[in-house]
Structure 1
């Protein structure tokens, strides 16, 4: 993965800060590319395993259809109200479908860890509730940019 910080290295998150931040956030925004070249942005739940961002998406959605046609995405997770509180992570790259789509719970070793993490994070359960409407997209980031304005010097 390429870290694409052109400026502001002092506000860049360390890998440990990034991992902790992503573990504590619940919603990301995913930008996909339409057939006409226009971007489409939608909110989605996710988990981060330290290497890949796992996106749990409805398979009958515009987002899903667009990623099947063109897997390039940009994903942002951010928060903060005041300028000095702004922080976030942006990833870019190509997603791939993992497991059956829609997901019904067929054994898939690649999904064991993400589904365990997702279930604990969002449902507080031990087993993934498969609804036959969602599927998994995995993004192994090609680019990463992060910021934490709390690191800026205060006046």
Structure 2
């Protein structure tokens, strides 16, 4: 994964390994899309991280899906922490790709084997991905990543 070199906040940015660990263990992200009228739209989703791409399993009859079909540019934030010195997160941005059948009904698709296993284990504690015929896959291989870990300020 390519991590954008941050101009500001270098002291608190995550290393590639820290970022990978963070994205692998977190469940929830906020997805920002652009509505037809140009206004931003933000929604929450579970995701899977495969070490290179973020995989989103989205309802295909959602505003988010409609927005991304029209304009696939997206910004996604994953963050955690309550107190200032606990805040950690990352913003990933780029263009999503639609992967697999729409909606997903479980056709064999080798490129979905890993994200479906990761997603099912992390979010459902299952070994196989359940398919409901309402969701489909989006993949973001980020073009830009900005991260922060305010816990790193404690040593200064």
* TM-score of the two chains, using structure 1 as the length reference: 0.96
RMSD: 1.2
Do structure 1's residue 50 and structure 2's residue 54 form an aligned pair?
Answer: no
1:59-115 CA distance string (max 9 Å, x none) = 000000100000000000001111111110100000010000100000111100000
The 1:125–1:153 alpha-carbon spacing in structure 2 relative to 1, beyond 3 Å, is closer
Secondary structure of the corresponding residue to residue 132 of structure 2: coil
Matches of 2:7 and 2:85 in 1, distance apart? 20
Q: How far 1:2 sits from its partner (Å)?
A: 5.2
Q: In the TM superposition, what are the counterparts of 1:82-93 in structure 2 within 5 Å?
A: 82-93=83-94
- 1:41 is matched with 42
* TM-score of the two chains, using structure 2 as the length reference: 0.96
Instruction: Structure 1 unaligned segments of length 5 or more: list them.
Output: none
Secondary structure of the corresponding residue to residue 60 of structure 1: coil
Residue-pair matches, total: 155
